[in-house]
Amino acid sequence: MIKLYRFKFSTNVERVALALAHKNLPVESIWVDSEDRSLVRRVSGQDLVPVIDDEGAVIWDSMVIVEHLDRRYPQAPLYPKDPARRAETTVFIDWFNRVWKRPPNLIYDETQKADPDRGRIEEWGRQITVAMDVFEDLLTGRDYLMGKELSAADVCAFPFLKYATIHVPEDKHLFHDILIERMPMTERHPKLAAWIERVDARPRA
């Protein structure tokens, strides 16, 4: 059975939880105190979650885990078999991780400073808000980001984009508060709102 080392309210853990449930894979969840990461460090040699132990194969980095699961357990695939469509999915994931996530991470880092630069924070925040139009356009004529079926692109993006409509009072993470503030859901993004509802209805491990 796959072991999943996880924190509560972790966006990256939710990526893996969605993938595991989509593939209907049995999993043992090992909940880790975010203030004491010694167990994660002992298992994987680093401090970040998620980490999986798949019959002795210890893997970290959420989308590396998702790709591993798709190779090892091909049922209910998350990456298309067609090379062109697979490349499109991979390019989207790379863009999301390297480009889309940069502004909220920069805002988070800036707010930790004694004298944050409000101008830079507002510009980064504007980039997050404007990017909502990209996802709205991607969902034109589609139920999911890459087409009719759930894919790794949805698994990658949903745990972050969901904060446009889903606010859990117990979730006190500053990074998530930044997403809530900078992704105001309006009538301009009906397809994005419907997609969030659609993916949120899916099970998690």
The answer to whether position 7 is within a domain reads: yes
State the pLDDT at residue 34: 87
Q: Same structural domain for residues 46 and 109?
A: no
Spell out the residues 6+ positions from residue 80 whose beta carbon is closer than 8 angstroms to its own: 86, 89, 146, 151
Number of domains in the chain: 2
pLDDT beyond 90 at 54: yes
Q: Same structural domain for residues 124 and 193?
A: yes
Q: Same structural domain for residues 11 and 97?
A: no
Using CB atoms within 10 Å of the CB of residue 169, give its burial: 0 to 12 exposed, 13 to 18 middle, 19+ buried.
exposed
Q: Same structural domain for residues 124 and 175?
A: yes
At 66-100, the pLDDT tens digits run 999 999 999 999 999 999 999 999 999 999 999 99
Judge if the upstream peptide bond of residue 83 is cis by omega within 30 degrees of 0. no
State the pLDDT at residue 94: 98
Q: Same structural domain for residues 111 and 46?
A: no
pTM for the model: 0.96
Residue with tokens 């904060």, as numbered in its chain: 163
The residue from 72, 102, 133 where one domain ends is: 72
Write phi, then psi, for 60 (nearest 5 degrees): -130, 175
Q: In whole numbers, what is the pLDDT of the chain averaged over residues?
A: 97
Residue 98 corresponds to which tokens in the numbers above?
């390297």
pLDDT beyond 90 at 12: yes
Residue percentage of the chain with pLDDT more than 90: 99
Q: Same structural domain for residues 138 and 95?
A: yes
Identify the domain containing residue 106 by its residue range: 83-200
Residue 40 — pLDDT band, cuts 50, 70, 90? very high
pLDDT beyond 90 at 136: yes
At 138-182, the pLDDT tens digits run 999 999 999 999 999 999 999 999 999 999 999 999 999 999 999
For strand 2-6 and strand 57-60, is the pairing parallel, antiparallel, or unpaired? unpaired
State the pLDDT at residue 71: 96
**Angle subtended by helix axes 152-161 and 62-72, to nearest 10:** 150
Spell out the residues 6+ positions from residue 99 whose beta carbon is closer than 8 angstroms to its own: none
The answer to whether position 77 is within a domain reads: no
Q: Same structural domain for residues 152 and 189?
A: yes
Residue percentage of the chain with pLDDT more than 70: 100
Q: Same structural domain for residues 38 and 109?
A: no
Q: Give the C-alpha separation, 58 to 79, whole Å.
A: 21
The answer to whether position 90 is within a domain reads: yes
Q: Same structural domain for residues 125 and 60?
A: no
Q: Same structural domain for residues 131 and 160?
A: yes
Cα distances (Å, whole numbers) of residue 199 to 84, 178, 203, 204: 24, 21, 9, 10
